[in-house]
Amino acid sequence: MKKSKLKKIYNAVKDITLKVGDYIYKKSGMKKRILFKGDIDLVTQFDKKSQTMIVEGLSRMFPDFGILSEEDVNLKPDAAVRWIVDPLDATTNFAHSLPIWAISVALECEGEVVLGLVYDPTRKELFTAIKGGGAFLNGKRIYVSKTRRLSRSLLATGFPYDIRKTKRDNLNHFSNFAKRAQAVRRLGSAALDLCYTACGRFDGYWELKLAPWDQAAGSIIVKEAKGRITDFHGQAFDIYGDEVLATNGLIHRQMMQVLLKAE
């Protein structure tokens, strides 16, 4: 898909993303109806409302595109071009009125993510990237950090929803990095973790068992910010895979060594 066409698509979806994000933020003080999808996996009426607004807007403007969204939406699954949407990333934070959550929208073209937007309405921060066009925060170009040593790095991670049942719970990696890095943070939003790595707030980020909507938009933002993103073994990153390692590139191998040592 040509960059000029992507730019037009970006301008349209940017308006939808900002509108929905600001609406949800405005309503976020209302009482939340919380349902459990799993032991610790939540959904609220705001996830549903955000998804409805985004899906209706995208379907109206791009009727030939497919849409994959977290809350059981999979429209035109065989379409060569489709949106991948997380209508409210970090629902647990949102449900507890912790202001760390975002809306994530990516465009996948023939298996490759070519456009991504992550909007944090609480800080009015919009992270964006178009393939080959760089990464931006509120229209200003962003780049990954220049930290070269793991021992001086601020890292981020998260834990899987099946942490109470699985042996592959990431706690071993968390412990190993806590002893080797400057510090490790757990924000609860994969989309923002990736964007914060892209703009240099974090030097590196790793996580297990994410869904495509958690990481699609953030992955292209990291790439376009000159970062590196792979699986734990350094193989090509796949939004449908179950490992993500995103860094400034300078500490990538050091993080891989710690991750592989624990296997």
Q: What is the CATH number of the domain that holds 216?
A: 3.40.190.80
**121 lies in the same domain as 193:** no
Mean pLDDT (whole number) for 49-53: 95
**181 lies in the same domain as 125:** no
Tokens of 163: 């942490």
**28 lies in the same domain as 136:** yes
**34 lies in the same domain as 66:** yes
Mean pLDDT (whole number) for 209-232: 98
**85 lies in the same domain as 48:** yes
Percent of the chain past pLDDT 90, that is, above it, reads 84
Is the pLDDT reported for residue 220 higher than 90? yes
Residues 6+ apart with CB under 8 A from 14: 117, 126, 128
Is the pLDDT reported for residue 263 higher than 90? no
Q: pLDDT-derived band of residue 242, with 50, 70 and 90 as boundaries? A: very high
- Tell which of 118, 141, 164 closes a domain: 141
**34 lies in the same domain as 154:** no
**131 lies in the same domain as 207:** no
pTM of the model: 0.94
Is the pLDDT reported for residue 40 higher than 60? no
Torsion sign (Cα): 29, 60, 211, 136: negative
- Tell which of 108, 141, 174 closes a domain: 141
The per-residue pLDDT for 122 is 97
**127 lies in the same domain as 159:** no
The mean pLDDT value of the chain amounts to: 94
**136 lies in the same domain as 15:** yes
The per-residue pLDDT for 37 is 65
* E strand residue ranges, 18-163: 34-36, 42-44, 66-69, 73-75, 81-89, 102-109, 112-120, 125-130, 135-137, 140-141, 154-156
**129 lies in the same domain as 172:** no
Number of compact structural domains in the chain:
2
Percent of the chain past pLDDT 70, that is, above it, reads 97
**87 lies in the same domain as 179:** no
**136 lies in the same domain as 12:** yes
Mean pLDDT (whole number) for 190-200: 98
- Tell which of 141, 166, 200 closes a domain: 141
Q: What is the CATH number of the domain that holds 56?
A: 3.30.540.10
- 37-51, 106-120, 192-206: least confidently modelled range: 37-51
Domain with 77 in it: 3-141
